[in-house]
Structure 1
Amino acid sequence: MNIFKKFFIFLSILGVVSCDPNSKSDDNQTLALLALAMQQPVNLNFEALVGGQSVTFNDTNLTVDGKTVKFKDFRYYISEVKLIRADGSTADVTLDNEFNWQNSGVALVDFETIKTSDTRNKVTGSVLSGNYSGIQFTVGVPDVLNHLDRTTASAPLNIGSMTWAWSSGYKHANIEFSINNDAGYTQFHLGSTTCNAAPNYGCTKKYRASIQLSGEINPSNQKIVLDVDKLLVGYSSAGAVSCMPGTAAPCDTLVQAFGLNISSGAVDSSITQRVFSLK
């Protein structure tokens, strides 16, 4: 139900209460219905940090342990956003449709300034009014949208460098970097594998990270950090490295950083994602 329908319900209930001579201003049931009809804006501000500083594409970035990191690309898709109540129940966030950046419940977070000059660090939408103590979201494109023809798909699912092929689908995350001024770059592309071709598109191994963060949530202005230092724990490279799920060491640690099982591609409860946190 979109925000306009809920607003209509709000007005309808308000009219009924106003016209009923037996209604009371402290009618708890009416207040509960009004609360259900109300929505509040959601504005999630994503940050990418190295050594506690915002990632830059104009210079080297220094990690907490003294490594230098340069980036060529830093983009990922966000979908299936939910806010979590104290009792563990969730409320779906309806994402806005915004030109180039959000459509059909999928948002693109884009920090890079090399391939395009535009950047996008926020995800916007609306959610039922209430108090929330956590957030959940998926890094990746939902299965139902993962095999679109990007040449005809609406933005942000029309970007060639964020796709593999129709059968494999999209790159859920695309992070390309070099360490310690190495001439070769690591291309870390997180996406689904073991996929079927037409007409029965689908992938057995999803590699779609489900991130859950606990803490006091300010839906209208909440910061979420991706910590590159924690992404790079245990990772070293020399020369050009193509890191995709299933390519084994040294890439496994990058996949596991998102809480994913390197063999099945599923979210693994025994592996705690280590890259995202609330700020």
Structure 2
Amino acid sequence: MDVAIAFEGRVGNQVFDCTDTYTLGSTNTEVQITDFRLYVHDVRLLRKDGSEFPVELTQDGLWQHENLALLDFENKAGACANGTSETNTTIKGRVQAGSYQGITFKVGVPFNLNHADAATAPSPLNLSALFWNWNGGYKFLRVDAAPTAGGGAFNVHIGSTGCTEDASGVVTACDRANRPEVHLTNYDPLSGKFVVDYAALVAESDLSQNAGGAPGCMAGKDDPECQAILGRLGIHVDDGSVHPDEQKLFVAE
């Protein structure tokens, strides 16, 4: 059967808007959010008995490619001038007919698609703003915030780190995959929506200053800001292990 799975970018109890300001983090810093995009893949719906059924994504040539989709909550308005005017808040596809009570998916780009050339990749993998480089691959999650009082940005760019190449330059492995997993149950995934809440992600973070490393969290295991950010994505900084029950970014509503 055809399915449409709805997502909503949220900042606390407010629907995300590029023209708004928000008071966030452990020090109640007023910020504007200048980007809010993420890739998801391996979407599966769950039945009451826990069995999983993969969603075959519609190949629309724009937002979805193979088993990957881009969710884009910014619209180039206001503070999001470097984004795109088009938005996407729905994953569309087909799944075996039945009654479902949950969803599971991964945030990020699967390894087989992650280390390509964004300049020649199909949409939605052709966005330079969501690409680091051939070795590191894509920014799986990008949310940028700019404190209104100045002092530098607080950027959340999550992607794979510590990637290694063979003699021919092909990436063969990454020390930290950094692909958060989401597992939400006891909810009909086709009747409501899934909230992506940036306020929950940065609740333990001081957005007013850089404690070291890149401004914000660029997924570095030694970056002081990444301890809280990765933790709230369900990723343990000490070993890179993924724990879906610990993530705070996604909730069902």
TM bracket, shorter-chain basis:
0.7 to 0.9
Q: Which residue of 2 aligns with 1:176?
A: 144
Give the letter for the 1:47 counterpart: E
Q: Aligned to 1:102, which of 60, 64, 89?
A: 64
**For structure 1, which runs of at least 5 residues remain unmatched after alignment?**
1-39
How far apart are the structure 1 equivalents of 2:132 and 2:187? 37
- 1:121 is aligned to 89
The corresponding residue for 1:189 is: 157
3-state SS of paired residue (1:229): helix
Task: String of CA shifts for 1:23-77, please: whole Å, max 9, x gaps.
Answer: xxxxxxxxxxxxxxxxx22211111212311011112134599653311111000
The residue type paired with residue 150 of structure 2 is: D
Q: Is the partner of 1:128 in helix, strand or coil? A: coil
Question: In the alignment, does 2:8 pair up with 1:47?
Answer: yes
- Cα deviation, 1:223-262, whole Å, max 9, x if unaligned, reads 0001222111210033461411224322321111110111
Matched, 1:244 2:218: yes
Match of 1:262 in 2: 237
Gap change, CA 1:94 and 1:222, over 3 Å in 2: farther
Q: Is 1:204 paired with 2:175?
A: yes
1:13 aligns with none
Q: Give yes or no for contact 2:142–2:157 (8 Å, CA) kept in 1.
A: yes
Inter-CA distance 41–242: structure 2 relative to 1 (3 Å threshold): same
1:226 and 2:201 aligned:
no
More helix by share: 1
**C-alpha displacement at 1:273, in angstroms?**
0.7
Q: For residues 148 and 222 of structure 1, do their structure 2 counterparts lie closer, same or farther at Cα, with a shift above 3 Å needed?
A: farther
SS of 2:49's equivalent in the other structure is coil
Q: Determine helix, strand or coil for the equivalent of 2:112.
A: helix
Whole-angstrom distance in 2 between the partners of 1:262 and 1:116: 32
Query: 1:204 offset after TM fit, Å?
Result: 2.4
Q: 1:273 aligns with which of 236, 247, 250?
A: 247
**What secondary structure sits across from 1:202 in the alignment?**
strand
Runs of 4+ in 1 over 4 A off after TM superposition: 62-67
Which TM-score applies when normalising by structure 2?
0.87
Q: 1:46 to 1:126 in 2, by over 3 A?
A: same
Query: Which 5+ residue runs of structure 2 have no aligned equivalent?
Result: none
- In the alignment, which residue of structure 2 is the partner of 1:216? 187
Kindly indicate whether structure 1 or structure 2 has the higher relative contact order, using CA contacts under 8 Å at least 6 residues apart. 2
Say if 1:215 and 1:278, in contact at 8 Å, map to a contact too.
no
> Which amino acid is 2:122 matched to?
S
Q: Is the 8 A contact 2:196 2:251 kept in 1?
A: yes
Equivalent pair of 2:68/2:109 in contact (CA under 8 Å): yes
CA contact (8 A) 2:10 2:195 kept: yes
Cα distance change, pair 233–218 in 1 and its aligned pair in 2 (3 A): closer
Number of residue pairs aligned between Structure 1 and Structure 2: 238
Structure 1 vs Structure 2 CA RMSD: 2.0
1:83 is the counterpart of 2:45: yes
Q: In percent, how many aligned pairs have the same letter? A: 32
